[in-house]
Every structure is written in structure tokens, then in C-alpha cells.
Amino acid sequence: MEYTVETIIANLKENGNGKALEQMQHFGIKAKNAFGVKVPHIRSLAKEIGINHALACELWKNDLHEARLLATMIADYKQITPEIADEWVSIFYSWDICDQCCSNLFWKLPFAYEKAKYWCIQEQEYVKRAGFVMMAVLAVHDKKAKNDQFKVFISFIIEGSTDERNFVKKAVNWAIRQIGKRNELLQKIMIDLSLQLKQSKSPAAKWIASDAFRELTNSKTRIRK
């Protein structure tokens, strides 16, 4: 089957689900135009299509939520320039489009670490979230990364920890937890950082620190020698 924007939208519409659409709204997914297609179906469709960057770009231009999710799964990261990455991030409007784009595509970029640092100091809520999500996703997927590449994020995490916006503080928390799970040294560093943030006057920093500390010191999470 030849996939075009039109055939893909028809497929997504056919597989839309009113209950799933309600669940999206319940979980804070802000999508003005969506069919309520579940992510497993979108991933299955992406697998059938394969990498198709031109089609991904066309889908990204469409304001249909699921079309943009699919775009993040079939885009070719080798054709994403820093300018294109900034352009895509600038239209993030919901936590799931942010997280899917970072998890499926952006972490693979050769300039991913620089973008993590750049985005996390921006004011726009979902751009800032993207910076911290990148830190978390890189900690999970970039197996060859050195500890120093994550230590550099500490000052950015401290600065971002006082942001009271829900989707930002949750991303900061996610970054601490995932970095801390990489190895014993980073775990100790992130536990110490959590203890430091616990002393903050910021309610957001206190919540971030308490939640991260709880997980990183949990017996099931602790990295043993």
C-alpha cells in the first residue's frame, strides 16, 4: 500500500476511539484536533511505513495530533538540522507530543546534548520540558555516553527545579531519576543533589527532590557494587 497524508489520516480516523479521546483529556493531553488513536496502533502503522522523512515532514505540518505523533516515528534523524529541531519544538503543545518526539527522534541527534541544555533554559513550558525530557531519555538510551556528559546537566537541573509548572517539574524529576539509574557514581551524585534540593524554599524543588530521593534510595532501585 502506498502511504500518503490522505490515506494515513483516513486510517487514523478509522481507528479513532471516543473513549481514548476522553482519556487523553483526562491525562492532560492538550490536543485541539485528535481522533483518539492509541499509541500502539500508531507504532504499528509507523512500522509498516518505515523511515520516510518527506512524509514525516508533511504529517508534522498537519495539525492532527496523531499525525504528528506518527511523524516523530518515521522521520529520519539524519535529516534533522538544529534549526528544524528548534522549529518542531516551538510548536509543542502537550506533554505527550514533547515526550514522543524526544524519545523517538531527538535523542538520536548528534547535537542532542546541546539542545537539552538550550531548551531547558527557555521560558515556553513545553520547550523547557523538552530540555529535561532529553536529559532523561539520553540517560536511558545513550549507552556510550560518559558520566561527565550528565554531570554538566546538574546546574541546569538546579535552576529548573524551582519552576512550579507541573509538566516542567515532572520532567526535571524524571531527569534526576533516570540519570541516577545509569550507574553507581551518578546515583550517588543524584541522591546528593536530591538532598540539596530538599533544603530549597521552593515547593517544586522540594517535591522533585523528595520523589527522586525516594526512588533512588529504594532497595529495588539501588545499584549494587
- In whole angstroms, give the CA distance from residue 8 to residue 66: 10
Amino acid at 55: L
Residues 101, 7, single domain; the answer is no
Residues 62, 142, single domain; the answer is no
- CA end-to-end span of the chain, whole Å? 52
pLDDT at 66 exceeding the cut of 60: yes
pLDDT, tens only, 164-179: 999 999 999 999 999 9
Q: What is the pLDDT of residue 19?
A: 83
Q: What is the pLDDT of residue 31?
A: 81
pLDDT, tens only, 184-209: 999 999 999 999 999 999 999 999 99
Domain that holds residue 121: 94-219
Closest by CA position to 104, among listed 58, 55, 70, 127: 70
Neighbours of 158 (CB within 10 A): 15
**Is the Cβ–Cβ distance between 127 and 92 less than 8 Å?**
yes
pLDDT at 98 exceeding the cut of 80: yes
Half-sphere exposure of 112 (CA within 13 A, CB side): 25
Average pLDDT score over residue span 31-57: 94
- In whole angstroms, give the CA distance from residue 7 to residue 1: 9
Half-sphere exposure of 167 (CA within 13 A, CB side): 21
CATH, residue 135: 1.25.10.10
**Is the Cβ–Cβ distance between 112 and 90 less than 8 Å?**
no
Residues 98, 70, single domain; the answer is no
Average pLDDT score over residue span 90-100: 95
Residues 69, 100, single domain; the answer is no
- In whole angstroms, give the CA distance from residue 172 to residue 48: 34
Q: What is the pLDDT of residue 224?
A: 47
Q: What is the pLDDT of residue 205?
A: 98
pLDDT at 2 exceeding the cut of 90: no
**Is the Cβ–Cβ distance between 163 and 201 less than 8 Å?**
no
pLDDT at 225 exceeding the cut of 80: no
CA 218 to chain centre: 24
What percent of the chain shows pLDDT beyond 90? Answer: 87
Residue 225 forms part of a structural domain: no
pLDDT at 219 exceeding the cut of 80: no
Q: What is the pLDDT of residue 27?
A: 78
- In whole angstroms, give the CA distance from residue 163 to residue 168: 7
- In whole angstroms, give the CA distance from residue 214 to residue 11: 43
Residues 171, 106, single domain; the answer is yes
pLDDT at 35 exceeding the cut of 70: yes
- In whole angstroms, give the CA distance from residue 109 to residue 29: 26
Q: What is the pLDDT of residue 102?
A: 98
- In whole angstroms, give the CA distance from residue 52 to residue 108: 16
- In whole angstroms, give the CA distance from residue 111 to residue 115: 6
Report if pTM > 0.75.
yes
pLDDT, tens only, 105-164: 999 999 999 999 999 999 999 999 999 999 999 999 999 999 999 999 999 999 999 999
Q: Number of folded domains in the chain? A: 2
Pairwise pLDDT comparison (33 vs 148), residue with the higher score: 148
Residues 189, 109, single domain; the answer is yes
